[in-house]
Amino acid sequence: MVRLRKNEQQTLLTIAHLGGKAKVSQIVTTSNLSHAAVMRAALTLSKEKLLQIHEQKQTIAWLTKEGEIYEKNGLPERCLIESLNSLGGKAKIDKTVKNARLEGQRVPIALGWLRIKGWATIERKENTLTALKKPQIGIDEEVMALIARADKGRIVVEELEKKERGAIATLRKRKLLAVEEKILRTLEISLHGQKLLKKGVAPDEEVSQLTPELIVSKKWRTKKLRKFNVTAPGAPIYPGKIHPLQQIIERARKIFLEMGFTEIRGPLVETAFWNFDALFQPQDHPAREMHDTFYLSVPKAGQLPNKKVVDAVTKTHENGWTTGSKGWGYPWSAAEGRRLVLRTHTTAETIKYLSAQQKPPIKVFSVDRVYRNEQLTYKNTAEFHQIEGIVMDKGATLRDLMGTLKTFYERFGLETVQFWPSYFPYTEPSAQAMVYVPKLHHWIELCGMGMFRPEVLAPMDIKHPVLAWGGGLDRLAMVELGLDDIRLLHGNRLGWIRRTPACQ
Ligand code: PHE
């Protein structure tokens, strides 16, 4: 004999009252039960074969902001053809556009659609438009009007005719419509359920909470305690949480701190002196060119450090100074060094720090933002994060550097790290740390690394070897979070942020 809980009985009776079959939303409003309660009851009832759950995919469509404006004022091509007709059916493009009050991007869009819809021809040479046939109200315009008039401005695409559904696809491409897929659930009482209802169902009085009264009065012995189904789906909740990228930043910080490093931070705007010159990058170095570095226009220039340091850097660039190097052999310009840039790497901060701190041992790191004028793609953004660190100590070697990085990345969960030879103007030897990502079947670069050259150390009066490394954090985050588009990290797409677990 089946025993029903109160909610289950109520759900079943409500469906019977609604004719034996009803949408979940209807049951919720009629019964006053919550959506989650009805769904929970439905799952149990369907397990007991008392009802069936039918699921149907539904596409809901509504007008975007732009779509709403066009719905009110007419599609741009409609405005254009009306303007053309008011000018007598043949006119210069510019004049027609102006008369239609179209601007910017809407102009080419309107012209394109005018042609596709066959409302007018465009004579490019003469720059004129000629109206062709009478511009009938199109199915796209009809659908837009239909949606605007629909309840809450939303329609179910599946309920439309084929032609109208075609228009929906076009309007979506034009970004005038947005859609969302939903699952519509209908509950239907089975034969078995109907029989049970005929016999009459009495709810099982269950206690879902054990109260002190029940215990003291010993009533709990006779009451039936409700079992909890801990695997039943509940309503999703979206509590506040730390952004996934910030979580990874915190993890990198924690690992460095545990390894005995101290965090340093510096300004986003630096002089070219610290970003480039102090790192022995010649002033005509390709990385400085406009396409890589963002230079500030206001204010244009900052201050150079004390004369002793500037003189030493000047000489090192010009002739190698006391470093044994020949330098780059060009006249160093202080004006170029003063120019302000959005720092292109956090190495600007480590060298600046070292210029003021010379007592070994030094172990510092930073996890911070840097900027490069990169085209925005799935793998590049103009603003990104770098993890940077240095160790300065008596007798420190490249081997120590590799060990330090291996430990860091291992703690991050990256086991297969290799060091490949590389080049940086400020380190010798130089290498790059690579990690194998099985999922991608290839190696990706984690960071650049090396030992600062004498040309970097001498002008800052640094007497001991310096191990340095720096690399992108966002790429690491992509691997960790399984992303194939870096833009997700910065786009604040709520859906993605919600789906990404609070604990990785
Ligand atoms: N600054 C380098 C970059 O941005 C990385 C690097 C740091 C290389 C320190 C060597 C030493 O790519």
Same domain, 254 and 388: yes
Residue 257 lies in a domain: yes
Same domain, 84 and 202: no
Residue 25 lies in a domain: yes
Overall number of domains in the chain:
3
Same domain, 98 and 164: yes
Same domain, 402 and 261: yes
Tally Cβ neighbours within 10 Å of residue 267: 15
Domain harbouring 146, CATH code: 1.10.10
User: In Å, what is the CA distance from 367 to each residue of 376, 389, 502?
Assistant: 22, 9, 21
Same domain, 22 and 70: no
Each residue's pLDDT, cut to its tens digit, for the chain (504 residues) gives 567 888 899 999 999 999 999 999 999 999 989 998 999 999 999 999 999 999 999 999 999 999 999 999 999 999 999 999 999 999 999 999 999 999 888 899 999 999 999 999 999 889 999 999 888 999 999 999 999 999 999 999 999 999 999 999 999 999 999 999 999 999 999 999 999 888 887 766 778 788 999 999 998 898 888 777 788 777 788 888 999 999 999 999 999 999 999 999 999 999 999 999 999 999 998 878 766 899 999 999 999 999 999 999 999 999 999 999 999 999 999 999 999 999 999 999 999 999 998 899 999 999 999 999 988 898 889 999 999 999 999 999 999 999 999 999 999 888 899 999 999 999 999 999 999 888 778 898 999 999 999 999 999 999 999 999 999 999 889 888 888 889 999 888 888 898 888 876
Same domain, 384 and 442: yes
Counting every residue written for the chain, the total comes to: 504
* Closest-CA residue to 38 (of 197, 51, 228): 51
Residue 396 lies in a domain: yes
Residue 282 CB contacts under 8 Å (≥ 6 apart), including other chains: 317, 328, 330, 425
| Pocket (CB within 6 angstroms of ligand 1) | 345, 347, 424, 427, 448-450, 468-470
What separation in Å is there between the alpha carbon of 347 and the centre of ligand 1?
6
Residue 328 lies in a domain: no
Give dist(CA 488, CA 481) in Å, integer.
Answer: 11
Same domain, 20 and 86: no
Same domain, 413 and 480: yes
Q: Which residue of 428, 447, 475 sits with most ligand 1 atoms within 8 Å of its CB, as the best mutation to test the pocket? A: 447
* Closest-CA residue to 11 (of 231, 185, 188): 188
Residue 115 lies in a domain: yes
- The range of the structural domain enclosing residue 73 comes to 65-175
Give dist(CA 424, CA 429) in Å, integer.
Answer: 9
Residue 387 lies in a domain: yes
Residue 485 lies in a domain: yes
What separation in Å is there between the alpha carbon of 388 and the centre of ligand 1?
8
What six digits make up the tokens of 235?
Answer: 């309503």
Query: Which residues does residue 433 pair with via DSSP β-bridges, in sequence order?
Result: 419, 447
Helix/strand/coil (H, E, C) string of 341-379? EECCCCHHHHHHHHHHCCCCCEEEEEEEEEECCCCCCCC
Same domain, 150 and 202: no
Same domain, 424 and 371: yes
Would you give the distance in Å from CA 272 to the centre of its chain?
31
Q: Which residue of 370, 424, 451, 469 sits with most ligand 1 atoms within 8 Å of its CB, as the best mutation to test the pocket? A: 424
Q: Where are the alpha helices (DSSP H) in 153-275?
A: 162-173, 191-199, 212-216, 244-258, 272-275
Tally Cβ neighbours within 10 Å of residue 240: 5
Cα-trace Rg, the chain: 35
Residue 298 lies in a domain: no
Domain harbouring 436, CATH code: 3.30.930.10
Same domain, 101 and 72: yes
What separation in Å is there between the alpha carbon of 272 and the centre of ligand 1?
16
Residue 241 sits at the vertex; the CA angle it makes with 238 and 245, to the nearest 5 degrees, is 125
Same domain, 258 and 393: yes
Q: Which atom of ligand 1 is nearest to the CA of 350?
A: 9
